[in-house]
């Protein structure tokens, strides 16, 4: 049985969803059931900078964007939720970009 991953107020959950074409990242505060910040390859700001939405470069730019949003909100630590996807490819690229921006998990 899979254990549920839950974020807390001072350490929210970074939830990653990867489809065949796009990648989505949301920072969720599970104690109040609210999405604090979100970014994806479908966002208007990201669409301008990304040529291929299903590439590792696109995932890196989404990771940098979500990390900058979380820093602006004062979040320094998160819990990483990859939703049973393996830590490889686009998910790994996004996670490394978040780490490079200084967010700990």
The count of structural domains within the chain is: 1
Q: Is residue 7 part of a domain?
A: no
Q: Is residue 57 part of a domain?
A: yes
Q: Is residue 81 part of a domain?
A: yes
Residue 18: CATH number of its domain = 3.30.420.100
pLDDT along the chain (105 residues), means of 10: 78 95 95 94 89 93 96 95 94 97 94
Predicted TM-score of the model (pTM): 0.92
Q: Is residue 93 part of a domain?
A: yes
Helix residue ranges, H only, 1-105: 44-49, 56-72, 90-100
CA angle 17, 56, 12 (to 5 degrees): 40
Q: Which domain holds residue 60?
A: 13-100
């Amino acid at each position: 049985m899979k254990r549920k991953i839950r974020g807390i107020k001072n350490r929210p959950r970074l939830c990653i969803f990867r489809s065949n074409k796009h990648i989505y990242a949301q920072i969720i505060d599970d104690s109040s059931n609210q999405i604090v910040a979100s970014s994806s390859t479908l966002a208007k700001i990201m669409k301008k900078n990304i040529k291929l939405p299903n590439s590792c470069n696109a995932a890196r730019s989404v990771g940098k964007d979500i990390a900058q949003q979380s820093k602006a909100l004062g979040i320094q630590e998160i819990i990483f939720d990859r939703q049973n996807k393996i830590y490889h490819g686009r998910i790994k690229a996004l996670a490394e970009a978040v780490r490079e921006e200084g967010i700990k998990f």
